[in-house]
Amino acid sequence: MNRDERLAHAHQWAASVLGRELPEPVPVSGDASFRRYLRVEDGPRTLILMDAPPDKEDCLPFVTLARAWRQAGIPVPDIIDWQADEGFMLLEDFGDTTFARQVGTTTPDGAAAEAATPLYEQALEALLRIQVQPAPEACPLPRFDDTLLADEYALFTDWLMRRKLGVTLQGKAGAQLKAQLTRVSEVFRGQAQVTVHRDYHSRNLMVRPMGIGILDFQDAVTGPVTYDLVSLLRDCYIQWPDDWAHHLADGFYDALPRAHRAPSRETFHRDLDYTGIQRHLKAAGIFARLALRDGKTAYLNDIPRTLGHLVRIGERHSELTPLVNLVRSDVLPGIEAELAA
């Protein structure tokens, strides 16, 4: 069935679940996937109706994790009902105020960062709880292994460099990039391995009267302890002041269970930097793929900020100079020129 037919069918299903006629659902902001979200009025409350075509989206990890994490006190949406065969779900409505919308700017200054600190401290407290959650038996978490790392590096080299910019590295340049990514992977794998949300950033964290809410956790894996932290503090959608992010990272390090801590604070910050390099390469590649494959060209605007994080942080580590130079000289100018055209 087409999109309009699916919408009508989802509306009928929601009405049957709730046992009453419902007003027409209203679309709400979507995400970078094939899922659609609609808001339905159910008397005095509103709910979110999710349409996730089962041939495109597997909702089982989301449902399994939501139930387990909610039981553990992690603020994720309550699932009212789920029709697995059709790909329809009714969820608790966490509203429209994401962290990004609350912050209100992509380049907050010191005063804005200070104002946001209580909100981000709540997010860090929730992250500490997520990291110690065991994988549900019904949904073993994939490991962030070498295969997954290779797939994510390919997002950058294939979708952004080759397909978007027409840049292909061969010979010495290709070998040098491979050596750089190998070093990043070594640091990535050498950290304590915990439960990782994998998209813990300002567009998936919600501001609610009773505290924060957490969305979009269906891609959770077992991976490095710094992964979600760098997603939050070096967000692809917000450029926080470095000293503010460093201070919050220090507080997170102090709060970690001993088994999850790096041997020293210096090593922890090194791990955070290298994990950020991996994540920002992946994210930039995903933004290019969203533009080229799915026609979501607005994501191209986020590439300069994302790779700007990589250049700024990579400059702290001399062994990453070739990678930093590649991004600064061969990648950023091409994207910036296209955005300026």
183 pLDDT band (50/70/90 cuts)? Answer: very high
Q: Are 25 and 49 in contact (CB under 8 A)?
A: yes
**pLDDT tier at 30 (50, 70, 90 boundaries)?**
low
The whole-angstrom separation of Cα 70 and Cα 176 is: 45
Q: Report the pLDDT value the prediction gives residue 268, as an integer from 0 to 100.
A: 98
Residue-wise pLDDT tens digits, 122-146: 999 999 999 999 998 888 999 999 9
pLDDT at 168: 94
Query: pLDDT tens-digit profile of 59-100?
Result: 999 999 999 999 999 999 999 999 999 999 999 999 999 999
Higher-confidence position of 25 and 289: 289
Percent of the chain with pLDDT strictly greater than 70: 99
Which sign does the torsion angle of CA 12, 15, 17, 19 carry? negative
Domains of the chain and CATH, by start:
3-92 (3.30.200.20), 106-340 (3.90.1200.10)
Euclidean distance between the first and final Cα of the chain, in Å?
A: 39
Is the separation of the CB atoms in 38 and 49 below 8 Å? yes
What is the CB neighbour count within 10 angstroms for residue 127? Answer: 24
231-277 pLDDT per residue, tens: 999 999 999 999 999 999 999 999 999 999 999 999 999 999 999 99
309-335 mean pLDDT: 97
When pLDDT is cut at 50, 70 and 90, the band that residue 33 belongs to is low
Helix/strand number for the chain, H first, E second: 12, 9
Q: Mean pLDDT of all residues in the chain?
A: 95
Instruction: Answer whether residue 307 shows pLDDT above 70.
Output: yes
In 145-172, which positions are buried (b, 16+ CB within 10 angstroms) versus exposed (e)?
eeeebeebbebbbbbbbebbbeeebeee
Backbone φ and ψ for 22, nearest 5 degrees, come out as: -120, 145
Distance of alpha carbon 312 from the chain centroid: 20
